[in-house]
Amino acid sequence: MTASVTNDLWARRYQPAPDAAVRLICFPHAGGAASAYLPFAQALSPQFDVVAMQYPGRQDRRSEPFLTTIAAMADAALEPVLALADRPIALFGHSMGATVAFEVARRLEARGVVPRALIASGRRAPSRHRDESVHTKGDNALIAEMKSLSGTDTKVLADDEILRMILPVVRNDYRAAETYRWQPGDALSTPIHVHFGQSDPKVSAEEAQAWQEHTTAEFTITPYPGGHFYLNNQLPRLSRAITAAVGG
């Protein structure tokens, strides 16, 4: 399936829904690309206009330099997101993407735009720090990390040529996620809805609950069976939860 691309380099639509009342803007996980959200677009269109964000340095943007921090990703994504805010928007992010979405929401609110919801998946609250250093380790350790989270196709992990292509992307994003430090400030006015896998080694129930500290609006938290990429097997249930939380 071919994506339609907006005038900027960031936004990808795999199931355009021009008449949808709400635009769901999705931020990929570490090492991920916009195409990770093709199943979302198929599940949620036409009720939502699902727009997946494409970070520099991957797929059709692979010739561009990486953005090496979460702040840089959020800064660069802000104007493309604002261009999509001609109708109500909601933000979704999985893993690293949840932190990027949070920082984008902060910047949007500073510009007077309050998203209908921030949906954070598979990521601890910004205020909960872990000392992690996977990005400093060798390729074998990085590959082992990818395998342990079960988010990468086993065919990819077995193909040395493809691995050499994606490892720099993965390492960059791990660096961005692991060096992120939350800067205290006002809580969001945006409702936050948190989803996580109960056996996810990357987020505990307490770390997921702590997202509540980051909003003065509605907050919900939903656990699922599964690990870090629980959503691969729970998309129908997650889609229903997004619809209930955000509306259309």
Q: 180-223, pLDDT tens digit by residue?
A: 999 999 999 999 999 999 999 999 999 999 999 999 999 999 99
Which pLDDT does position 2 carry in this prediction?
42
Q: Tell me: the pLDDT tens digits for 82-111?
A: 999 999 999 999 999 999 999 999 999 999
Domain architecture of the chain: domains with CATH: 4-129+184-246 (3.40.50.1820)
What is the per-residue pLDDT for 152? 54
pLDDT at res. 107: 98
As a whole number, the mean pLDDT across the chain is 90
Catalytic residues: 95
Sheet containing strand 22-27, edge to edge, reads: 4-5, 11-13, 48-53, 22-27, 89-94, 117-121, 192-197, 219-224
Q: What is the pLDDT of residue 155?
A: 55
Residue ranges of the chain with per-residue pLDDT less than 50: 1-7
Whether omega for the bond prior to residue 46 falls within 30 degrees of 0, making it cis, is yes
Q: What is the pLDDT of residue 151?
A: 55
Question: How far apart, in Å, are the Cα atoms of 18 and each of 5, 42, 115, 119, 129?
Answer: 13, 14, 19, 22, 39
Rg of the chain on CA atoms, in Å: 17
CA atoms within 13 A on the CB side of 74: 23
User: What pLDDT was estimated at residue 156?
Assistant: 56
The structure's pTM equals: 0.92
